[in-house]
């Protein structure tokens, strides 16, 4: 009888230990799941911007003299994110960009997007996307050789979709 009680106690202790170990493992998995925020390729709290680490993209240069000016590269695609405080509308900014772009062919001129191609021997396609959050205007500029634009278009769209702007 004593042997049976002793065995029962050992069995209960073993079950309790097993259950507590399972609970700890589950808690660790849940904690890890809560911190599944992607690694940042670039983050700037002042301008409220986060660029998650994405396959193929690398940070090329960051400048913060008067405004945010950050350059990224992915193969033949060059991306520039600029942010500044302005009261100008997207239309006013687009007019200034068109005037300063020289000899180009406008491909798209939409509410918050301007696309054009240079008339040079090796033509470059430039897509400019405008976003506004609070007092900041963000300009996303993508430059790609025209001959490689179709392949790059999905990478560009994915990059824009992944960028988080946190200024409210």
Asked if residue 54 lies in contact with residue 139, where contact means CB atoms within 8 angstroms, the answer is: no
What pTM did the predictor assign? 0.73
User: Which pLDDT score, from 0 to 100, does residue 167 have?
Assistant: 56
Q: What is the pLDDT along the chain (168 residues), one digit of tens a residue?
A: 554 454 455 544 545 444 555 455 444 444 444 555 568 899 998 888 999 998 889 999 998 888 899 999 999 999 999 998 888 888 888 888 888 887 888 899 999 999 999 877 789 999 999 998 887 899 999 999 999 999 999 999 999 999 999 855
CA angle 100, 92, 61 (to 5 degrees): 60
User: Which pLDDT score, from 0 to 100, does residue 150 have?
Assistant: 92
User: Which pLDDT score, from 0 to 100, does residue 80 have?
Assistant: 96
């Amino acid at each position: 009888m004593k042997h049976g009680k002793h065995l029962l106690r050992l069995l209960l202790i073993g079950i309790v230990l097993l259950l507590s170990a399972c609970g700890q493992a589950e808690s660790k998995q849940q904690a890890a799941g809560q911190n599944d925020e992607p690694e940042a390729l670039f983050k700037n709290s002042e301008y409220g911007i986060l660029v998650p680490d994405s396959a193929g993209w690398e940070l090329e240069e960051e400048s913060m003299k008067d405004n945010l000016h950050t350059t990224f590269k992915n193969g033949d695609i060059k991306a520039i994110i600029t942010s500044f405080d302005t009261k100008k509308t997207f239309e006013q900014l687009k007019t200034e960009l068109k005037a300063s772009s020289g000899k180009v062919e406008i491909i798209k001129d939409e509410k918050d997007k301007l696309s054009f191609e240079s008339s040079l021997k090796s033509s470059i396609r430039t897509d400019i996307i405008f976003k506004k959050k609070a007092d900041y205007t963000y300009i996303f500029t993508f430059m790609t050789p025209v001959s490689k634009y179709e392949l790059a278009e999905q990478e560009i769209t994915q990059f824009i979709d992944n960028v988080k702007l946190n200024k409210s």
